[in-house]
Amino acid sequence: WVSDFTYVSTWQGFVYVAFVIDTFADRIVGWGDWFNNRRLLGPIGNIPPAEAEENFYAQRDVLDMVA
């Protein structure tokens, strides 16, 4: 088996792709992809940063009014 790890540029960022190739059968045994956006947007709920910031300040204003 041989493995390959590479990245491809897309419109939304980079996609990291890993392949596992069976050289005897000459076919791809498995593969996986990982979008850079998953890592960047995961902690804020996979929403655009501007929307996350808007939600943060909207929640902060509500909490200020309660106190």
Strand locations in 1-67, DSSP E? 2-10, 13-22, 27-35
Q: What is the pLDDT along the chain (67 residues), one digit of tens a residue?
A: 777 777 777 776 777 777 777 777 767 666 565 555 566 666 666 667 778 788 888 887 665 555 5
What pLDDT was estimated at residue 34? Answer: 56
Could you list the residue range(s) of the whole structural domain that residue 27 is in? 2-66
What pLDDT was estimated at residue 31? Answer: 57
Q: Which amino acid is at 55?
A: N
Cα–Cα distance measured from residue 19 to residue 22, given in angstroms and rounded to the nearest whole number: 10
User: What predicted TM-score, i.e. pTM, was given to this entire model?
Assistant: 0.35
Number of domains the chain is built from: 1
